[in-house]
Amino acid sequence: MLKPVIQEEATGCGIASVANVLGKTYSEMKAVANAMGIYAEDKSLWSDTQYVRKMLSSAGVETSPDEIPFESWSGLPDLALLSIKHHQEGGKNFWHWVVFKRLKGKEFVLDSASYLPSNIRTDFDEMQPKWFIEVMNA
C-alpha cells in the first residue's frame, strides 16, 4: 500500500515531495535537506526549483532541465513534480509542490498537505498545475 509522506512544517512541501519520490520519511529527507543547507522555513523552497532538483540529484535521480508547461494529465510522464496553487507575494511566484505518479495505468497525485482528508488525490479538476518537472530513473 502506498503511504504518502505528510509535510511536518507548513512550508515543507518541497521536502515532503522529494521524500515521496525517494521513498523516505519526512524526517529522513529533512535531515538530508538540512545537511545540504536547505530548510523548510526558507521561502525559496517553494519559489525556486533548484532546491528540489538538488535534493533529487544528490540521490542520483535525474530531472528534466527545465519546467515544462502543463497541458493535460494524460500528457504527463509517469513521474513528475507538479507546481499547484500558484500565487504571488511581493511580485514573486510561489507554489505548492505535489508528486504525480502513474502506476499500472492508474494516475494519482501525492499531496503532502496535512489538512487534506486523503493525501492520495484523484480530484484532477481541483488541481491546476502550471508546469511540471519530469523525474527520471527514480
pLDDT tens across 5-54, in order?
A: 999 998 899 999 999 999 999 999 999 999 999 988 877 666 788 999 99
1 pLDDT more than 70: no
Q: Give the N- to C-terminal CA distance of the chain in Å, as an integer.
A: 18
| DSSP secondary structure letters along 48-71 | -SHHHHHHHHHTT-EE-SS-EE--
pLDDT-derived band at 131 (thresholds 50, 70, 90) equals very high
Q: What are the domain boundaries of the chain? A: 12-136
pLDDT tens across 59-103, in order?
A: 999 999 999 999 999 999 999 999 999 888 888 888 999 999 999
Class of the CATH domain delimited by 12-136: alpha beta
